Amino acid sequence: MPDKRFREAYDAVTLSNESAARIWGVLEQELLPCEEKRSMKKLKNPIRIFVIAALIAVLMVGSAYAISGVAHSTGTHAMRGTGEYTTLSSLPKVEKTAGYPITAVPEFTNGYLFQSMYLGGEAAYDETYTPLREYYSVTFTYAKPGARELTLSVDPVLDIPGAHEPPAPTDSRTIDGVSVRFSLDHYKLVPEDYEKTEADLAAEEAGHFYISYGSDAVEEHEFAFVGFTLDGAEYVLMDMAADGNSEEMLYAMAAELIAAHK
């Protein structure tokens, strides 16, 4: 597990159970994918980095766990064969290590190109952070000139007591027989002394609105994602700088992944 300073940052952030479940794995695999980048000495502001990771964690809907029950959270776990790959030709090797089929494409029709994939070890932990079950997670990065990067995360579907249902999606569609859920979430990063307004409380109650403490100033961001299941694996395609085009773009990319899988 990450060191004490990550633990302190975790405790300082206000999150829902759905958010907390995925933080540890996302923190290292999304933001710090290379071993040489994982030293806390190289992070100028670890709490700030953590808050960003917490926001990403909300998006990962496939492996969240309730605070009560057997499974408490998921997170990084030392396992053999992990690492980063820069060619999609390495996918068969990654699949063999991961132990489940994974679908990815070298290029989407909208111009997004494969950049890298990271195979990471994870585990479901109990409340004492004792590993209950080990598994591999795969994270893909896609990019195109002049556009923000998109991230595709793939995890095995885990049948573990204590599983917690993800938040209801903003929208959903059936694409080629596969149920695809879309969410557009608003995230507000605030300083430690920030007091929630009536508008904040109303937005939280309405859903798809999250406040995280630990930022130097108030910042607001829109994140969009689609999630779906293929052959025992959960796929989450994320746009962390969402705009009015994100929904149709992500649905279309999900359709291409589903077609490639079939």
Residue 58 is predicted with a pLDDT of 41
Query: Domains in the chain: how many in total?
Result: 1
Closest CA to 151 of 80, 74, 52, 64: 52
Q: Which amino acid is at 126?
A: D
Q: How far is CA 241 from the centre of its chain?
A: 14
In sequence order, the β-bridge partners of residue 120 are 137
Residue 19 is predicted with a pLDDT of 40
Residue 231 is predicted with a pLDDT of 94
Contact 223, 238 (CB under 8 A): yes
Residue 72 is predicted with a pLDDT of 56
Contact 237, 225 (CB under 8 A): yes
Residue 228 is predicted with a pLDDT of 94
In sequence order, the β-bridge partners of residue 150 are 142, 239
Q: What span, in angstroms and rounded, lies between the C-alpha atoms of 231 and 36? A: 34
Q: Which amino acid is at 191?
A: P
pLDDT tens, residue order, the chain (262 aa)? 334 444 444 444 444 333 443 343 344 333 433 333 332 222 333 333 444 444 444 433 333 333 233 555 666 777 888 899 999 999 999 999 999 999 999 999 999 999 999 998 887 777 777 777 888 999 999 999 999 999 999 989 876 655 555 667 889 999 999 999 999 888 888 888 999 999 999 998 888 888 877 778 888 888 898 999 999 999 999 898 889 999 999 999 999 999 999 8
Containing H/E element for 96?
Answer: helix 91-98
Say which residues have a Cβ less than 8 Å from residue 253's Cβ, sequence separation at least 6: 108, 110, 112, 150, 226, 237
- This prediction has a pTM of 0.73
Residue 175 is predicted with a pLDDT of 98
Residue 169 is predicted with a pLDDT of 82
Residue 147 is predicted with a pLDDT of 93
Residue 239's domain comprises 4-261
Q: Kindly calculate the radius of gyration of the chain based on its CA atoms and give it in whole angstroms.
A: 18
Closest CA to 181 of 83, 47, 21, 60: 60
